[in-house]
Amino acid sequence: MTGLEPFGTRLRRAMDERGPLCVGIDPHASLLAQWGLNDDVAGLERFSRTVVEAMAERVAVLKPQSAFFERFGSRGLAVLEKAVEEARAAGALVVMDAKRGDIGSTMAAYAESFLRKDAPLFSDALTVSPYLGYGSLKPAVDLARESGTGLFVLALTSNPEGGEVQHAVRADGRNVGATMLAHLAAENAGEEPLGSFGAVVGATLGDLSSYDLDMGGPLLAPGIGAQGAAPADLPRVFGKAVRNVVPNVSRGVLRYGPDVVALRDAAERFAEEIRVAVAAG
């Protein structure tokens, strides 16, 4: 397989050139209705095409949530395939938010679905769940290295339920979330300017100074906008790792659709606020 330039290298360049904003493509039923669209495949396609048209030439990262496409079956997946293809062709990096996690050949098949260069849903990176043990991700790690793609591993998520797993303390005294960050630091060791193995860390979590977030890879940070976090919060939450944060905004931008100009303006406002916050941090 002929790999791309490593994902971390491509992401660092995109963040420097376009700003670090990631916009979600989350066509859930309430947003389709807000846009005046039906909750069907036609509405899904119109929504996705509009977001790609508005954002793909401007933001660093687009992050489709695969579940909102999968619920329409094969026709929904066809829409997702087209959205990914068009977004990448326009210069955006695509992070597929599928949160896959399994073992052995099944994990390998999930990885091939999104990280194999000739796969219909080929994306620049994939979100994965390590809670069958970090080692269960090895097939995805190996394929990402081979293909020049990346992973974002769930480490410290913003949902309240996550704490019962991620804050559980191991026999060595370190909690599970910190353990995942340590694994990622090992994956990224020696990689410049940015490693390809990132963590998902919620921007709504407040003071995370007890964690070593500076693990050499990107930090995908959901929670900006509708979930309550603001760009100005980023330095306080992420400390010296703030330059590697990829803040994700979904509803905070998407609620301005279906007007393309309004969507672009909203994204640019967030991007500028993030630039200012990161520079201040």
**pLDDT tens-digit series, residues 135-182:** 999 999 999 999 999 999 999 998 989 999 999 999 999 999 999 999
pLDDT greater than 80 at residue 1: no
**pLDDT tens-digit series, residues 208-231:** 999 999 999 999 999 887 778 899
pLDDT greater than 60 at residue 2: no
**pLDDT tens-digit series, residues 49-76:** 999 999 999 999 999 999 999 999 999 9
The pLDDT of residue 164: 95
**pLDDT tens-digit series, residues 85-144:** 999 999 999 999 999 999 999 999 999 999 999 999 999 999 999 999 999 999 999 999
pLDDT greater than 50 at residue 207: yes
| Prediction pTM value | 0.97
Of 63, 82, 99, 138, which is the active-site residue? Answer: 99
**pLDDT tens-digit series, residues 247-259:** 999 999 999 999 9
Q: How high is the mean pLDDT of the chain?
A: 96
Decide if 240 is catalytic: no
- How, if at all, do strands 93-100 and 22-25 pair? unpaired
